[in-house]
A and B are shown apart, each in its own frame.
Chain A
Amino acid sequence: MVTNFEIVEKNLGDVKVIKVVGELDALVAPKLKERLIKLIEADTTKFIIDFEELVHINSLAMGILRGKLRSVKEIGGDIKLIKLNDHIKTIFEMVGLDEVFEIYETEDEAASHF
């Protein structure tokens, strides 16, 4: 079965910007988790996750992000989220994750808050 999911990465100084494209469901969420684990093992601690092209997110993926946020905060890092569409913002608010993550409109705004 074809999945509509892709991770696009770039570096912004010492910040890793991860653009999540498509549908982040329970099948593909572990791929994001594995990638974050690898990056954290390679000493990346500052992340911006760009949701501009994310059209669907499952609770498992949100749980993974919450877990990784905890991990990087313990080592002085952070995961900031940008460009959530209204639907995804609503889900984050529903489960209280809008108060757990710093959420910004733009990459520059997020980067300036590390």
Chain B
Amino acid sequence: MEKKNEIKLVVPSSLHNLTLIRALAKTYMEAQNLQKQDIMKLLSVIDELATNVVEHAYRYETGEMTIFLSKEGNTVHLSVEDYGHGYDEGRMSKDEGGMGLFIVKGMVDEFEIEKKETGTKFNVLKEVKEAK
């Protein structure tokens, strides 16, 4: 059974949906009274992971991603899940990319890549503070 402060966003994989994803996630985090710095960091994390799904998991083709957010005490749990091509460490990003997952790891307390039979689930834990 879902807890009251969990949300799940199911969004078509497209760069055109990044603004929407960030806006929905921001609204959720503001409702949870997170401090601004933590919201900014988590929005960067969500944006990098969602971009990764569009670029690598679905390679700009049709697909779906599920973004899950919850807050328990002072910890935010975030996951971004896709059902596309599995995560491949060896697959190099284009010249201009490659920094995304590095940024994600630097912004959070725990980061895990869960390889599924079809697709990948990125799991994140971040300690947060509440806004004063």
Contact = CB atoms under 8 A, between A and B. Distances in A.
Q: How many of chain B's residues touch chain A, expressed as a range?
A: 20 to 34
Interface string B1-36: 000000000000001111110100000000000000
Interface stretch (A8-16, A34-42, A59-67, A102-110): A59-67
B85 interface: no
Q: How many of chain A's residues touch chain B, expressed as a range?
A: 20 to 34
Contacts of A87: 37, 40-41, 44
Contacts, number: 72
Nearest to A25: B18
A25 B51 contact: yes
B103 interface: yes
A87 B41 CA distance: 7
Nearest to B39: A87
Given A26-B15, A63-B98, A94-B102, A58 B51 contact: yes
Interface in A22-44: 23, 25-27
A43 B13 CA distance: 38
A95 interface: yes
Interface of B: 15-20, 22, 37, 40-41, 43-44, 47-48, 51, 54-55, 95-100, 102-103, 106-107
Interface of A: 1-4, 23, 25-27, 56, 58-60, 62-64, 66-67, 86-87, 90-91, 94-95
